[in-house]
C-alpha cells in the first residue's frame, strides 16, 4: 500500500501512518482492562473460540508458532501448552503496553518458551519459511494494510503450514444482525464504566462494521497466495475462524 492512500480507522478515513498511530493509542489506553472487557463483550465465548483455533491449527509438540497481534498473551499461553518445552511461540505486537501485560502474565505462568517481538504485521523481522503455524486472534481488522500483512505471514510460514484467523465477522441472519447491533451499542458505555474510557470501544464497534465479511476475507487469503482456504462461522457469523495454508513451491 502507498502510504499516501487513506485507510479506514473505524468510520474515518485517515492516512496509513495515522491509522498505525491511532490503533496503537487505542490499545495503550485499554491494556490494563483489555481482558476484562473481552470477557464482558463476548460473554466469555472468546475463550471457547480460542481453544477451537488451537484445535484447527494442527500444532504439535516441538512446533514454532507465530502469534500475531498477540497482545496480552492468551493465545500464546494456549499455544505454549500445545507445543511444549521443545517448541516455541513468538508473541508479536506493535503495542508495548499490551505486550508488557502479556509478558508479565506468561512469565508468572512459567511459560518460558514464549518470546516477544515488537513489530508491525506488514514488515515482519523473520526469515522465510520459519514457522509451523501462525494465528491472528481478533487483530486483523486493526492492521493498517491487511493485504500486505497476509503476504508477510505467507512468507514466514513453512510450506503447508497454516494461518488461522479468529475475527469478528458479519451475522448472516438479519434478525441476529439487528440484535447484535443493539448489544454493540452498549460497549462504549461499558468501556466508560470498567475501563474509564469509551472511545476505544466506540472504535471497536466501528472497526467491526467496516471489516471485510467472511467471503471477502476468504478472497483476500487467496489473493495473498494461501490455498485450501476455508472459514467456519461462530454464533451465526458474529465471529468466524478463517484458515489457509502456504502452498508447496
The arithmetic mean of pLDDT across residues 4-16, rounded, is 84
Mean per-residue pLDDT over the chain, rounded: 91
Map out the domains of the chain with their CATH numbers.
6-245 (3.40.50.150)
The arithmetic mean of pLDDT across residues 109-121, rounded, is 94
Cβ neighbours of 18 (radius 10 Å): 16
What pLDDT does 4 receive? 57
Length of the chain: 249
Give the residue from 104, 109, 118 showing the smallest Cα distance to 24.
118
Q: Which residue has the cell 473505524?
A: 10
120-179 per-position pLDDT tens digit: 999 999 999 999 999 999 999 999 999 999 999 999 999 999 999 999 999 989 899 999
**187 vs 202: CA distance, rounded Å:** 7
Q: Are 69 and 153 in contact (CB under 8 A)?
A: no
Angle (deg, nearest 10), helices 187-194 and 34-42:
140
Q: Are 52 and 75 in contact (CB under 8 A)?
A: no
pTM: 0.91
Helix (H/G/I), strand (E/B), else coil: 98 = helix
42 to each of 62, 85, 180, how far by Cα in Å? 32, 31, 11
Give the residue from 160, 128, 145 showing the smallest Cα distance to 246.
160
Amino acid at each position: 500500500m502507498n502510504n499516501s492512500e487513506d485507510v479506514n480507522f473505524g468510520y474515518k478515513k485517515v492516512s496509513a501512518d495515522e491509522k498505525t498511530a491511532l490503533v496503537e493509542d487505542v490499545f495503550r489506553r485499554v491494556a490494563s482492562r483489555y481482558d476484562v472487557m473481552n470477557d464482558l463483550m463476548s460473554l466469555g465465548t472468546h475463550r471457547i473460540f480460542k481453544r477451537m483455533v488451537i484445535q484447527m491449527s494442527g500444532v504439535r509438540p516441538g512446533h514454532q508458532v507465530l502469534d500475531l497481534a498477540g497482545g496480552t498473551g492468551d493465545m500464546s499461553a494456549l499455544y505454549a501448552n500445545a507445543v511444549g518445552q521443545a517448541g516455541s511461540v513468538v508473541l508479536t505486537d506493535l503495542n508495548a503496553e499490551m505486550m508488557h501485560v502479556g509478558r508479565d502474565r506468561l512469565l508468572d505462568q512459567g511459560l518460558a518458551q514464549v518470546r516477544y517481538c515488537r513489530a508491525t504485521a506488514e514488515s515482519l523481522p523473520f526469515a522465510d519459511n520459519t514457522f509451523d503455524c501462525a494465528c491472528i486472534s481478533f487483530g486483523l481488522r486493526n492492521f493498517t494494510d491487511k493485504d500486505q500483512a497476509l503476504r508477510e505471514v505467507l512468507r514466514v510460514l513453512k510450506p503447508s503450514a497454516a494461518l488461522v484467523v479468529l475475527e469478528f465477522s458479519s451475522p448472516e441472519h438479519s434478525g441476529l444482525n439487528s440484535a447484535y447491533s443493539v448489544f454493540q451499542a452498549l460497549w462504549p458505555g461499558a468501556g466508560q464504566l470498567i475501563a474509564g474510557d469509551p472511545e476505544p470501544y466506540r472504535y471497536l464497534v466501528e472497526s467491526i462494521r467496516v471489516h471485510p465479511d467472511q467471503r471477502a476475507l476468504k478472497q483476500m487469503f487467496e489473493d495473498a497466495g494461501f490455498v485450501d482456504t476455508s472459514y467456519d462461522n461462530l454464533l451465526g457469523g458474529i465471529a468466524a475462524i478463517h484458515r489457509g495454508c502456504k502452498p508447496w513451491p
